[in-house]
Chains A and B, each alone.
Chain A
Amino acid sequence: MKEDVTKLSRRNFFKAGTVLASGVAIASALTPYDGLLFAAEAPGAKGKWYGIGIDINKCIGCGKCANACKQENNVPKDPFYFRSWVEQYTIKNDGSILVESPAGGVNGFTQSVPDADIYKSFFVPKMCNHCAKSPCTQVCPVGATFETEEGIVLVDEKYCIGCRYCVQACPYGCRYIHPEKGTVDKCTLCFHRLKQGLQPACFEICPTEARIFGDLNDPGSKINYFLKNHTCMVVKPHLNTGSKLFYNALSPEVR
């Protein structure tokens, strides 16, 4: 049987095309892909939308937050696995910048530069910025890390394949590979505590209340009060990550 391709007239082609297209349209209307519906709404438009504030003026560098984080979340005790840590920035009189973080500041700090050489010095507590447009979730090849509706970046430990892509993508260095689990681990904003109505451990423990946390959608929340009354800035704003960790009195030296 010899078939002549020219038999397919323009009319028949359009007919078949319309039937196919409408069939696809009806099928997708019957069982819509929920992910698309979810993405259609701008994140943080309703419900809770968590933000973090850190007052550098108030931080005394005791490292209790870093310590509390390690204990609350069973982070390995080795001095290179951190979900939350503290850095001391020292700007010397000659203009050079020294950044120190002995064991992440877990055991506190000792001043290594004599007073006479210091122009200014301050502590910067660091943690996951819980970005609204997070680079780390975008690079995950298996969908093991994601942003929740509340704006918290979480990791699916069962799905993570430990490819370290997100560790490299995070511009703030807030992820690490857990040596025992072999999966990535990061700050969850103590999600298990949040769901019980408690504050994350580092916010609970801060002795000078330098760390503030709350719902950005609630006009009366602590974090909104903090943002209104201080000149706040995020780290690396030029990267447009939609960071929700706001620092008061952030020096441009901090990276």
Chain B
Amino acid sequence: MPQHIKRLIGVFAIFIVLFLVMRQVLKPSSFGKLGHFRADAIYENTLKPMHYTVADSCTKCHQTVRAEKDKGFHKNLKCEVCHGPGLKHSLYAGQFKGKELPDSLKLYKPGERKDCSVCHQKNAARIKIQFDTINTTMVHQIDVAEHNPPDLKANEPANCIDCHNPHQP
């Protein structure tokens, strides 16, 4: 075998060994276990923090509100639909019984026109069910701007919850 071929084989061998060593060091151990990706990434995706809880966790303390809500049209709504994410509140608010809650644990208290209009503002796309010849709505539709407009002289904009009980509308 000529000398230069021998050298070339040597160089190739060095490259192949170097590649194998680098691959061993750089490739994450779980790569390729389940396909062309890191299998550990599946577990890492489960580690993200939660913010929403489930409706049952509210009932631990707020049974009266729940009982009230169960009688009204809003019975199928989860508490967090209006009040926002409440996992932190459900975990830690119990320690502050009878005391003022810190702001970080307070949940949103809706009741202004802008809150209720998210679902109840009249919108052509919300007419859904055709009953005989009448179009009825799944959710009650009102024109928020025209419905009982606030008294501007008194400088007190009327909120929806001034007249309606949101838990039993």
Stretch of B18-26, B74-82, B98-106, B157-165 with 4 or more beta carbons under 8 angstroms from chain A: B74-82
| A102 interface contact, C-beta 8 A | no
Name the CB-closest residue of A to B126: A60
| Known contacts A88-B125, A192-B46, A205-B80; is-contact A158 B85 (Cβ 8 Å) | no
Residues of A within 8 A of B37 (CB): 143-146, 156, 159
B54 within 8 Å of A (CB atoms): yes
Contact call A205/B81, Cβ cutoff below 8 A: yes
Q: Is residue B119 within 8 Å, beta carbon to beta carbon, of the partner chain?
A: yes
Query: Which of B41, B47, B80, B125 lies in contact with A192, CB distance below 8 A?
Result: B47
How many residues on chain B are close to A (CB under 8 Å)? Answer: 42
A178 to chain B minimum Cβ distance, whole angstroms, is: 13
Instruction: Please determine whether A158 and B34 come into contact, CB atoms closer than 8 angstroms.
Output: no
- 1/0 per residue, CB under 8 A from B, across A60-79: the answer is 11111000100111100000
In angstroms, how far is the closest chain B Cβ from the Cβ of A199?
8
Number of interface residues of A (CB under 8 A): 59
Q: Complex Cα distance A170/B125, Å?
A: 28
Does B118 lie within 8 Å of A107, measured CB to CB?
A: yes
Contact B2 A1 (CB under 8 A): yes
Q: Identify which of A57, A60, A188 gathers the most chain B CB atoms within 10 Å of its CB.
A: A60
A143-154 Cβ-contact flags toward B at 8 Å (1 or 0) = 111111100001
Check A122/B36 contact, CB under 8 A, given A72-B85, A191-B45, A198-B54.
no
> Is the CB–CB distance between A68 and B125 below 8 Å?
no
Q: Within 8 Å CB of A252, what residues of B?
A: none
Q: Given A68-B52, A192-B50, verify A111-B123 contact (CB < 8 Å).
A: yes
A72 touches B52 (CB 8 A): yes
A253: Cβ under 8 A from any B Cβ: no
The answer to whether the Cβ of A58 comes within 8 Å of any Cβ in the partner chain is yes
- Whether the Cβ atoms of A192 and B48 lie closer than 8 Å is yes
Name the contact of A34 in the complex, choosing from B32, B41, B78, B81 (C-beta under 8 A): B32
B residues near A, CB below 8 A?
1-2, 31-38, 41-42, 44-52, 54, 76-78, 80-81, 84-85, 117-119, 121-126, 128-129, 138-139
14 pairs, A vs B, C-beta closer than 8 Å: A57-B129, A60-B139, A62-B119, A68-B52, A108-B119, A108-B121, A121-B123, A143-B35, A155-B41, A188-B48, A192-B46, A195-B46, A205-B81, A207-B139
